[in-house]
Amino acid sequence: MPKEKTQEEMRKERFGSASKFSDAVVKKYGPLVKCVVTWGSIMRKEHTFKETSDIDCVVIVDDTHGELTDIQRAKVDDEVHEIANKVDKRISVQPVWFLTEFWDMVRTQSPLAYSVLREGYALYDTGFFIPLRKLYAQGKFPATIEAAYLKMEPVARRIQRVEMSKVHAVFDDLFYAMFESAQAVIMFLGHEPPGIRGSPDAVVKYLVAPGLLEEKYAKDMQKVVKFHKAVEHGEIKKIKGAELDRWISLSKRFVVRFNVLLKKLENDRKASSVVRASDTMVKASMAALRIIGKLPEDPKDLPGAFKHLFEEGGLNPNYSDLLNKMLEMRAKLNSGKLDDIKEEEVYYSQQYVMKFLEDVKRMLREHKFVKRMK
C-alpha cells in the first residue's frame, strides 16, 4: 500500500506543476506574457487542499502594443488550456486576462482581482504584479481587509498612549525638569554634571552637605530617579491623575527652589568678585601712592590723589574711570543694590584691574620710584 503524501509534499508537487506550466506558456508566447500567477489553496497556510484539489492559475497578457481580436484571444485561451492539461490535469486556468482588464479590475475593487493579489504567487512576472501585491499587503488599496486593519492598527496605540501619557509626563518632562535643574546648579559650582543614577548623591555632596540646600530636596531627587527607573524597566505602566498632580506639585517646588538657589549662588559669586576686584584696585592704588609719597591721610580722598599716578607715574589716565567704577560697584553692593550691577560689568572690570596691577608694577620698576623706596 503506497504511503499517503503529506500536505507539504502535495504542495511542493503542485508548485512543480505550476512552474512547468508557467515555463511552457512563456516559452510559447514570449513577451506577450506579462505574468503567470498561481493562487488559491496552494498558497494558504492551512494547506487544506487534497490530492485532487485544483491548481488555480491565471495568465495575464499584454494588450497595450496592439489590439487582440476575439478570435486571437480565444485561440490563446485554447492553447493555454491545452498546455495546462499536458502538464497536469489538476491545473485550473482562468481565461487569459488582458493587462488593461486586470488594471481595471484593481481600479474597480474587483473581489477576484483582490483575491489574486492577496493569495497570488508570481511564477513569472515582468515587474508589475509583485509591486501591486506588495501595495495590497501594505493596505494601499481601499475596501480591502488589509486597508481596514491598517487603519485600525493605530487605534489601540492611541488609547494606550493616553493611558501612558501620565506616566511619561513624570518619566520625561517632570523628571528632566528636576534632573536638569540639579545639573545646572552643580555645573555652576564648577563640578562635573552627574548622570541620572548619581544625581541624588551629587545633590547631597555638593549642595546639602555644604549647607546650600535642605535635605528634603535630595530625597525628592531620589524619589523621581526611582520612579524613572521603574518606568524604564516596565514596572510602572499606569498612574492615576491624583498621583500625577502630586508629582507636578513636587517638581514645581523642586524647580522653584533650585532657581532661587542658582540666583543666590550667582549673586554670591558676583558680590565676591566685586569685593575682590575693588579691594585689589584700592590696595594697589594706595600702595603705589605711598611709594611715590602721595598717599592721602583720609582714604576718602583716594580718587583725588589718584591723578598723581598718571601725572607723575605715567599711568593711563583712564584708570581713574576704572577706580571710580570699582568704588561705585562697591557702594551698590554695600547698599543692597547688587542686582543693579551687570555680570558683564564685573567681568570686564576684573580684567582691567589685572591690567592696572601690571601697569603699576611696571611703573614702580622705574628708577626714580625705586630710589624713593630705598
Kindly state whether residue 251 falls inside one of the protein's structural domains: no
Residue 125: CATH number of its domain = 3.30.460.10
pLDDT digit string, tens, across residues 42-97 = 777 655 666 667 888 999 999 888 777 888 888 998 999 999 999 999 888 888 98
User: Based on the structure, what is the number of domains in the chain?
Assistant: 3
Kindly state whether residue 296 falls inside one of the protein's structural domains: yes
Q: Which of 92, 116, 143 is the last residue of a domain?
A: 143
Same domain, 50 and 132: yes
- The Cα 317–Cα 306 span in angstroms is 9
Task: Give burial (CB, 10 Å; 0-12/13-18/19+) of 157.
Answer: exposed
Indicate the pTM of the whole model: 0.51
Kindly state whether residue 70 falls inside one of the protein's structural domains: yes
Same domain, 215 and 275: no
Residue 302 has pLDDT above 60, yes or no: yes
Kindly state whether residue 249 falls inside one of the protein's structural domains: no
Give whole-number Cα distances, 42 to 34, 129, 139, 205, in Å: 21, 18, 23, 71
Q: Which of 143, 174, 194 is the last residue of a domain?
A: 143
Same domain, 50 and 124: yes
pLDDT digit string, tens, across residues 136-193 = 787 777 665 555 555 566 655 665 565 556 676 666 788 888 888 899 999 888 888 8
Report yes or no: 14 and 84 within 8 Å, Cβ to Cβ: no
Same domain, 130 and 167: no
Radius of gyration of the chain (CA): 45
Q: Using the 8-state DSSP alphabet, how is residue 128 labeled?
A: S
- The Cα 187–Cα 45 span in angstroms is 62
Q: Looking at residues 328-341, what average pLDDT do you find? A: 89
pLDDT at 370: 46
Kindly state whether residue 86 falls inside one of the protein's structural domains: yes
Domain limits for position 35: 7-143
pLDDT digit string, tens, across residues 8-25 = 888 888 889 999 999 999
Kindly state whether residue 205 falls inside one of the protein's structural domains: yes
